[in-house]
Structure 1
Amino acid sequence: MKYYDQHLHTFLSFDSKEIFENYLLNKPPYFVATDHLDLRNPGDNFQDDIPDYDKLAQKLSELEANYPTTFLKGVEIGVVPGQEEQINAYLNDHPYDLKLLSIHQNGKFDYMDDVVLSKDKYKVAKMYFDQMAQVLDTFSGAQILTHFEYGLRRLDFTAEDLEEHFEKELTTILKKVIQKEMALEINAKSFGYYQNANLYRYIIPLYKSLGGTFFTLGSDAHQASDYEALFPEMSGLLKEFGVNFLVTFQKNDRFLTELP
């Protein structure tokens, strides 16, 4: 099986207008859109952003009749502690083949909002990593932990900062990821646009040293032109640390594929 992008957004996300057909110009053997599920989303006036599952199912049914691609249902779940019961109630009635776990916001602000610039960066990072650790304890069923450094994107952090100030918290997080047999995502927007490749250069060997073996690449594309963005560069970084395989998820199945 050839590896395929496992982090994509379409018009079913509040922050994308992209249509499925534009992604399919890449002729992927498998295709999965992972649109946002974020309750009381500060990035959208505190609305509940829940992808329209019926519209997704209808769209995939239409596409299956016209494309040789195998289509999967995916979702990116942003979790704030206290929301788990409501999220699980939705997921129980709406089965997905792939579930990404993300920490985007804390119920008051998104970690990408300007408000973080007025706060102590170490306190923001501690809040973010503590929330991630708590969610990994209280929420189950996701297969991939996305963009581990999302909460640091607006702040100035180096790999040395993480090692000195947050290695304990990150070790706790990564042990939980490993225990749950989840994968760690290398995120193209983080790697390229937000110039955080150095933070991945730090986290990859730490994850491996704890016994972590599952990695994914995700473009986090919100437009089709970013499909599989920076995959060669991110693959090259993984190879530097002796990683030669990626993992794909399809419901309860897990497949290892060679790095592209």
Structure 2
Amino acid sequence: MLADYHIHCKYSDDSEEKPEKIIKIAIDKSINEICFTDHVDYGIKLDKEVFEKMSENEKRSWKEKTGRIDLNVDYSNYFEEIQELKKEYRDKITIKQGLEFGMQTHTVEDFQKLFDSYKSKLDFIILSCHQIEDKEFWTKEFQKGKMPDEYNTEYYEEIYKVVSQYSNYSILGHLDHIQRYNEMIHPFEKSREIITKILKKVIEDNKGIEVNTSSFRYGLKDLTPERNILKLYHELGGKIITIGSDAHKAEDVGTYIPYIQEELKKIGFNYICTFEKMEPVFHKL
């Protein structure tokens, strides 16, 4: 079973790829199932409907605050297009509908409203942390003026606070995402305690984690999340796990998935998961 459960297309602000091109390449690569998971990041991005109702002064103020104006998924067109493609390609590949929630503690309520509005259409939700206090990791704004121990701890604490407040998700995306932006790999042992708390909460709530193969594109020294985290999750009894390329270009869909399946077997996992209407489906490795 080859399934890619982390894919972005033109409905994410950081991709221009057409969904149909992604589907065709996935079929060419003999992938059995894919799930589109385009970005929603409240706090730094706006819903289309909100943006269209803003005055010019409000738009200027928003741009001064964030440095740019980026929009979240155009939900109605997103779900409509995926639904049409599901029908067109139903005999060649299974296509699921998802979203990636880039959550922060102060945006939990916004995401709950969003989920309530579209839950009938959703198969899968990735819960990720891309910024804290609306400060981005990739620009180093969040890390500015802090020592690595401080900002790495704050990152995991934010995730723990979010999963303690919110449970309408499927898996945690790229759990050690902050490692991508560290100057040097931050030692696992320094974060073991808070990561353990996160994973115990995830397991308690019958949620899961993913292995994100973008680690290869970014030239990281370990998997995402790193093998220590995967081993800890397994030792704690975690069973729900997905694999996703985090592709923003069609050519990256499905990359390294067979390799990751073998690595998961080495750790002791017996299954990978896909999702149907927010419920995990287990497939033997």
TM-score if structure 1 supplies the norm length? 0.90
Report the counterpart of residue 166 of structure 2 in structure 1: 139
Among 89, 110, 132, the alignment partner of 1:106 is: 132
Report the counterpart of residue 181 of structure 1 in structure 2: 206
Q: What is the SS of the residue equivalent to 1:243? A: coil
Query: What residue identity is the alignment partner of 1:119?
Result: K
Among 167, 187, 201, the alignment partner of 2:227 is: 201
The whole-number CA distance in structure 2 between the counterparts of 1:200 and 1:246 is 17
- RMSD in angstroms over aligned alpha carbons? 2.2
Query: What residue identity is the alignment partner of 2:215?
Result: S
The whole-number CA distance in structure 1 between the counterparts of 2:130 and 2:260 is 22
Number of residue pairs matched by the alignment: 256
Gapped runs of 5+ residues in structure 1? none
- Residues 158 and 65 (structure 1), Cα distance of their counterparts in 2 relative to 1, 3 Å cut: closer
- Residues 34 and 172 (structure 1), Cα distance of their counterparts in 2 relative to 1, 3 Å cut: same
- Residues 206 and 31 (structure 1), Cα distance of their counterparts in 2 relative to 1, 3 Å cut: closer
Mean Cα deviation higher: 102-111 or 168-177: 102-111
The whole-number CA distance in structure 1 between the counterparts of 2:77 and 2:139 is 30
Instruction: Determine if contact 2:13/2:70 at 8 Å carries over to the other structure.
Output: no
Report the counterpart of residue 276 of structure 2 in structure 1: 250
Identity over aligned residues, as a percent? 29
Instruction: Determine if contact 2:179/2:185 at 8 Å carries over to the other structure.
Output: no
Instruction: Determine if contact 1:74/1:99 at 8 Å carries over to the other structure.
Output: yes
Query: What residue identity is the alignment partner of 1:62?
Result: E
The whole-number CA distance in structure 2 between the counterparts of 1:70 and 1:205 is 30
Instruction: Determine if contact 2:124/2:278 at 8 Å carries over to the other structure.
Output: no
Instruction: Determine if contact 2:124/2:170 at 8 Å carries over to the other structure.
Output: yes
Instruction: Determine if contact 1:98/1:249 at 8 Å carries over to the other structure.
Output: yes
Report the counterpart of residue 99 of structure 2 in structure 1: 75
The whole-number CA distance in structure 2 between the counterparts of 1:86 and 1:222 is 25
Mean Cα deviation higher: 29-38 or 56-65: 56-65
Query: What residue identity is the alignment partner of 1:171?
Result: T
Distance apart, 1:64 and its partner CA: 3.5
Distance apart, 1:190 and its partner CA: 2.7
The whole-number CA distance in structure 2 between the counterparts of 1:58 and 1:67 is 15
Deviations 1:34-92 (A, max 9, x none): 000101227x7465742111101221233244322343210000111121112111211
Distance apart, 1:196 and its partner CA: 4.2
Instruction: Determine if contact 1:183/1:247 at 8 Å carries over to the other structure.
Output: no
